[in-house]
Amino acid sequence: MVMLNLLSFRDIADYRSNPGLAPPAPISGAKAYDLHAVATLPMLEDQIRKRGASPSRSPGYFHQKDGNRGTLSAFWPKYLGGRHET
């Protein structure tokens, strides 16, 4: 089984529902997601290991490089994927 989340972001991150999490200055939605990913991927990987999966099957977070005009980069500048053998 393969999971692929295609991600799109706001120009400015919206923290109205959680103002205590807002950074001092406005940031893009993509930057906010990067901060979230850095904080949560280690916890996700730990949970995957606890369930007996190898680290190579852990979720991956990918950035399209500037100037890359591949299929995904046209509409989805970032994507999150993972693989699980069933």
Res 78 pLDDT > 80: no
Domain locations in the chain? 2-83
* pLDDT at residue 73, as a whole number: 46
Contact 57, 84 (CB under 8 A): yes
Please give the structure tokens belonging to residue 7: 């991600």
3 state SS for the chain: CEEEEEECCCCCCCCCCCHHHCCCCCCCHHHHHHHHHHHHHHHHHHHHHHCCCCHHHCCEEEECCCCCCCCCCCCCCEEEEEECCC
Least reliable range by pLDDT among 15-19, 28-32, 69-73: 69-73
